[in-house]
Amino acid sequence: MKSDTLHKSKKEAETLKQPLVFIDGKFYPKSEAKVSVFDHGLLYGDGVFEGIRSYNCLVFKLKEHLVRLYESAHTLLLNIPLTKEASAKAIIETLRVNHLRDSYVRVIVTRGTGDLGLDPRKCKKPTIIIIADKIVLYPESLYKNGMDIITVPTVRNLPEAVNPSIKSLNYLNNILAKIEAVNSGYQEALMLNADGYVVECTGDNIFIVKNGILQTPPTYLGALKGITRQAIMDLAVRNDIPRQEQVLTRHDLFNADEAFLTGTAAEVIPVVKIDGRVIGDGKPGKMTQKLMSAFRDSTKKDGVKYTV
Ligand code: PXG
C-alpha cells in the first residue's frame, strides 16, 4: 500500500512537471494529451495547422497566423468552432500556463473523430489542439556561415491538386522532399513546381538578391504564403530595399548574389550553396545580414503581449 501511494505521488509530481497541452478547451499534461485513433487528422491528414513563435512574451504575427489558419480551414469546409478571438485567447492561455516567454506554438485543428471512411460528414466536431514548446531547427553555426541546399526530384504539390497555400496536416509532399535531401547528406531541399520553376523549400520560403533587388517566387507557382516571407517584404519596404515577386529558375538562383530562407521555425537563414554552385562569394550576403538583423529587431517590438 505504502509503495503504491509513493508511486502515485511520484507519478503526480512527474505529471505536474510536464508541459500542458490544450485539447478542446481543457489542459492535459503531455503524457495524457491524446486524441482518438478515429480522428480524421490521424487517419487522413484531414486538418490544418499553424506554427507560431513568441519572443520575450510577444506573440509574433498572431493575427496573420490566425487568418491563414481560418482561411486554410475555410477551403477545407472545416468549421473551427471558436472565433479567432477565442483562439487567440486559448493560444495565450497555453503560453501562460506553461510559463513560456519564448516559445514555438503549434495550433492543430483536425476534422475530428469519425469512423473509417473518408466522408468528413462522419466527424461531428473538429478537434482543437494547442501545444506550446520550444523549437531549434538548425545549429547556430548555419545562421553564421549559411546553408548548403539541394534540389530534390519530388516536385511541390500542384495548386490544382492540393494547393500549397493550404497549411494542411498532409505534409507528405514536403516530408518526401526532406527525406531526399537528408538521404543525399543535406539539411534542406529546394523544391520546384511541375514546370521546373523554383517555389520554396520543405518548410521555408526562398529569397535571392540580384543586383540589389530582393526577389522571391510568386506564391501562385505553388508556395505557401509564408508569414515570415511577408514580414521580410514589409521590412524591405521600410528599409527602401527594392523587392519583387519574380518567377525564378535554378539558373537564376545559381547566379544570385545572395540567397536566404524564411520560416517561423527557421526564421531567416542564409544559403551559400545550391546544388554545388557557390552563391555570391560563398558567405552570407550584406542584404541578408541586414534583413536578419531587422527581422530580429522586429520580433522584439511587434507582437501581442502576454504575461507568464
Ligand atoms: N513553406 C512551407 C511549406 C512551410 O511549411 C513556410 C514556407 C514558412 O511559412 P511561415 O508562415 O512559417 O513563415 C512553412 C512553414 C518545421 C516547420 O518543423 C516548418 C514550418 C511550419 C511548421 C514546422 O520545420 N514552416
* Protein residues with CB under 6 Å of any ligand 1 atom: 51, 137, 174, 200, 203-205, 224, 226-229, 262-265
Please check whether residues 25 and 127 belong to one and the same domain: yes
**Three-state secondary structure of the chain:** CHHHHHHHHHHHHHHHHCCEEEECCEEEEHHHCCCCCCEHHHHHCCEEEEEEEEECCEECCHHHHHHHHHHHHHHCCCCCCCCHHHHHHHHHHHHHHCCCCCEEEEEEEECCECCCCCCHHHCCCCEEEEEEECCCCCCHHHHHHCEEEEECCCCCCCCCCCCCCCCECCCHHHHHHHHHHHHCCCCCEEEECCCCCEEEECCCEEEEEECCEEEECCHHHCCCCCHHHHHHHHHHHHCCCCEEECCCCHHHHHCCCEEEEEECCCEEEEEEEECCEECCCCCCCHHHHHHHHHHHHHHHHCCEECCC
Indicate if 167 belongs to the active site. yes
Question: What is the whole-number distance in angstroms between the Cα of residue 10 and the centre of ligand 1?
Answer: 38
Mean pLDDT (the chain) is 95
pLDDT of 237 strictly over 70: yes
Please check whether residues 129 and 146 belong to one and the same domain: no
Distances in Å between the Cα of 194 and the Cα atoms of 204, 261, 280 are 18, 21, 27
- pLDDT per residue as tens digits for the range 156-185: 999 999 999 999 999 999 999 999 999 999
Closest C-alpha residue for ligand 1 atom 3 = 203
- For residue 289, being part of any structural domain is answered with yes
- pLDDT per residue as tens digits for the range 289-307: 999 999 999 999 989 999 9
CATH number of the domain that residue 264 is part of: 3.20.10.10
pLDDT of 253 strictly over 50: yes
**Residues 131-144, mean pLDDT to the nearest whole number:** 94
- pLDDT per residue as tens digits for the range 41-85: 999 999 999 999 999 999 999 999 999 999 999 999 999 999 999
Please check whether residues 178 and 211 belong to one and the same domain: yes
Other beta carbons less than 10 A from residue 185's beta carbon: 8
Other beta carbons less than 10 A from residue 308's beta carbon: 12
Please check whether residues 109 and 192 belong to one and the same domain: no
Among 135, 156, 190, the domain-final residue is: 135
Handedness of CA 89, 93, 99, 100 (dihedral sign): negative
Question: What is the whole-number distance in angstroms between the Cα of residue 279 and the centre of ligand 1?
Answer: 23
Distances in Å between the Cα of 154 and the Cα atoms of 65, 151, 272 are 27, 9, 22
Q: Which atom of ligand 1 sits closest to the CA of residue 167?
A: 5
Alpha-carbon gap, residue 9 to 15, rounded angstroms: 10
Please check whether residues 210 and 294 belong to one and the same domain: yes
Please check whether residues 69 and 189 belong to one and the same domain: no
Among 78, 104, 135, the domain-final residue is: 135
Dmax of the chain from CA atoms? 76
CATH number of the domain that residue 79 is part of: 3.30.470.10
Residue of 224, 225, 269 with the most ligand 1 atoms within 8 Å of its CB, for mutation: 224
- For residue 210, being part of any structural domain is answered with yes
Please check whether residues 224 and 246 belong to one and the same domain: yes
Q: Which of 5-9, 41-45, 229-233, 247-251 has the lowest mean pLDDT?
A: 5-9
**Whole-number pLDDT of residue 2:** 45
Q: Which atom of ligand 1 sits closest to the CA of residue 135?
A: 18
Asked whether 40 and 46 are in contact (CB, 8 A), the reply is yes
List 8, 167, 178, 286, catalytic entry: 167
Please check whether residues 119 and 237 belong to one and the same domain: no
Among 135, 169, 194, the domain-final residue is: 135
Number of domains making up the chain: 2
Closest C-alpha residue for ligand 1 atom 25 = 203
Please check whether residues 121 and 156 belong to one and the same domain: no
- Domain of 163, in residue numbers: 140-298
Residue recorded with cell 541586414: 290
Q: Which atom of ligand 1 sits closest to the CA of residue 223?
A: 1
Please check whether residues 86 and 54 belong to one and the same domain: yes
Alpha-carbon gap, residue 197 to 263, rounded angstroms: 20
